[in-house]
Structure 1
């Protein structure tokens, strides 16, 4: 039995090393499913004027507080170009690691600086700023998390009174904001469903999911963005996707240099998070319930746009006629697996932008910092509402090696 076990460990180790080598070949490269790439390269954006723009950026909680942060610099350039006919939606996890601690905490000054570094770039911005909260803003879901998020809300309102912190006071939502004629934002506090401890309850006899369904039915004549912190589709860690390195060297999940090989034993944590799930994972019962109920509503509305952060990368999925974004690369990056149901993924800092045109088309763009300060590059674009698009499912396992740059 000892020889069999040793042989199994050896075989598993070799397989993980080969998988690790393959992952190194595509990590941090733009991946676009072939159908999407071919169609977009042959189809330029419409000649019509852009009537409104929305930047969707999540997980900005670790931005640089000294010097200029590359993503904030990119966002600032976008703000100057977009002007007053635009909005920025910050998708939660605005302050790492645990939101805004109490005033007496030694961690308070650093936490405030991270939030203020973001708020400063909006001081001269004439568009709309909407903040959401994420699990880290709620003290990583601990029972006293409501106090942390209320302190953050107060700081945002103090230093940027024109901003909106939604839903206010820790309620689940949904709440709406009319961004422009025909463009509606619906905001959900998805952390409310997975949060431990105190959380404000909605009025008795109301159901957030029923309210959302009613809102979407009433606004089918509009172009609707639903925003929450937690993604509903993901090829990254919260969706149960782990690297070979995390299987073989599981302690690198805690510290990136902890290279202690633990084959088989090391796979227990990824398997647990994929099957059972930590509180922030899709597999966790509370998150699974939230996802199932939300998708049951959203799948009824073609062309719905759902935007989230949480996973530290950029991902786009087209499922059941709806558009599902993961834009959590505002200050960190993490592994994202290519293929599957995804149309586009990239392990890189940046954010998604939505362009609303006069002819009613909506285009999605992935924007990332360039090589020089303040410069940016568009690495993916796709029309979300053009009815002539043949939305064939993207084949799994396709590896696109070259970068796509839009016109």
Structure 2
């Protein structure tokens, strides 16, 4: 599939466009800031600066969820590596959001944090977890336990947060031993129990890989990807290769199916398994990253909403389209804000370093 990417915000309905609305820090009980794929920040990264400002509005009531791919290109290398200083800089830029604002920070692993799905993934992940926990002084600041699938369950105020390591399902190399839930059946049973046991609490599930996406990992490509395929590797390579250029996007979608794409065999199995559990209880939302854009989907019979907030690095933004379930789509850097208001309402917003900053606004169903 190919179409035009949404370099301007796409709204399924006019009412999703931001209205003059002020939410004071006294109006909400809990705030969650959702940002993914922030592992390649430029010096003074504008997204992280803005994220810090939003976290600082009410730090005692704010949790910042970093949704994986926290260190590009392949996680935290050994301290004796020549690349260590640069990799450390990348995670330090994100850690400073929590440390500067006073908000709680929770880091979730993505495929790049597992040695870019490589053979040293388990060790690479363990180094990052230890570094994050030491920096923030909170043993629950890196979830789940490195190398384990989760679910890790935290009740934060009136909200139940469930964290999964989706790369555990996709990675073919060594995984953690001694995990509380050692296989897929145990993971799914625990996930089912965690959602069912939430009672009246709204349930927020967080992982790196999306269930829905209209980005490259979801099979979306623009006409420029077919005519100028080298731009997938380097945005400046405007070299036309018509017809032959279509081989990469078509091959990736239909032939050489990567397990990092929704069409990949392991990814398909994980997606189906999660959706079966969601349908039994219909939690509020599933938040993810992976594709480098901002997308919101109606969850249909599965869940209230699927959120894709993977636009944490301004230099890595990728194309984003839409489908019949899309409520919002934007190929731009930014993050998402979920405010649980004292009135019982739940407000979802999309924020980007623009003027005005709020690009989407919606009171969520629960």
Question: With structure 2 as the length reference, what TM-score do the two structures score?
Answer: 0.91
Match for residue 308 of structure 2 among 298, 315, 326:
326
Q: Is it true that 1:317 corresponds to 2:297 in the alignment?
A: yes
Question: With structure 1 as the length reference, what TM-score do the two structures score?
Answer: 0.82
1:330-351 deviations in whole A, cap 9, x for unaligned?
1131100134321000111110
Instruction: Tell me what 1:395 maps to.
Output: none
Instruction: Tell me what 2:193 maps to.
Output: 214
1:226-274 deviations in whole A, cap 9, x for unaligned?
0000000001000000111111122221122333333232212211222
Alignment of 1:89-128 (within 5 A): 89-128=65-104
Q: Is the 8 A contact 1:367 1:378 kept in 2?
A: yes
Match for residue 158 of structure 1 among 134, 144, 153:
134
Match for residue 57 of structure 1 among 32, 35, 47:
35
Unaligned runs of 5+ residues in structure 2 are none
Gap change, CA 1:377 and 1:102, over 3 Å in 2? same
Alignment of 1:1-400 (within 5 A): 23=4, 27-34=6-13, 37-38=14-15, 49-64=27-42, 66=43, 68-162=44-138, 164-180=141-157, 182-201=158-177, 202=179, 203=181, 207-276=186-255, 277-320=257-300, 321-331=303-313, 332-370=316-354, 377-385=357-365
- Secondary structure (helix, strand or coil) at the match of 1:153 reads helix
Q: Is the 8 A contact 1:246 1:266 kept in 2?
A: yes
Aligned CA-pair RMSD: 2.3
The 1-side partners of 2:134 and 2:224 are apart by 44
- Secondary structure (helix, strand or coil) at the match of 1:141 reads coil
Question: What is the Cα deviation at residue 288 of structure 1?
Answer: 0.8
Question: What is the Cα deviation at residue 214 of structure 1?
Answer: 1.3
Q: Is the 8 A contact 1:143 1:195 kept in 2?
A: no
1:34-72 deviations in whole A, cap 9, x for unaligned?
2xx2376689689992111110110110112x3x21011
Instruction: Tell me what 1:7 maps to.
Output: none
The 1-side partners of 2:202 and 2:299 are apart by 17
Gap change, CA 1:245 and 1:177, over 3 Å in 2? same
- Secondary structure (helix, strand or coil) at the match of 2:111 reads coil
The 2-side partners of 1:359 and 1:316 are apart by 24
Gap change, CA 1:224 and 1:236, over 3 Å in 2? same
The 1-side partners of 2:111 and 2:118 are apart by 9
Unaligned runs of 5+ residues in structure 1 are 1-15, 387-407
The 1-side partners of 2:18 and 2:318 are apart by 27
Bigger Rg, structure 1 or 2: 1
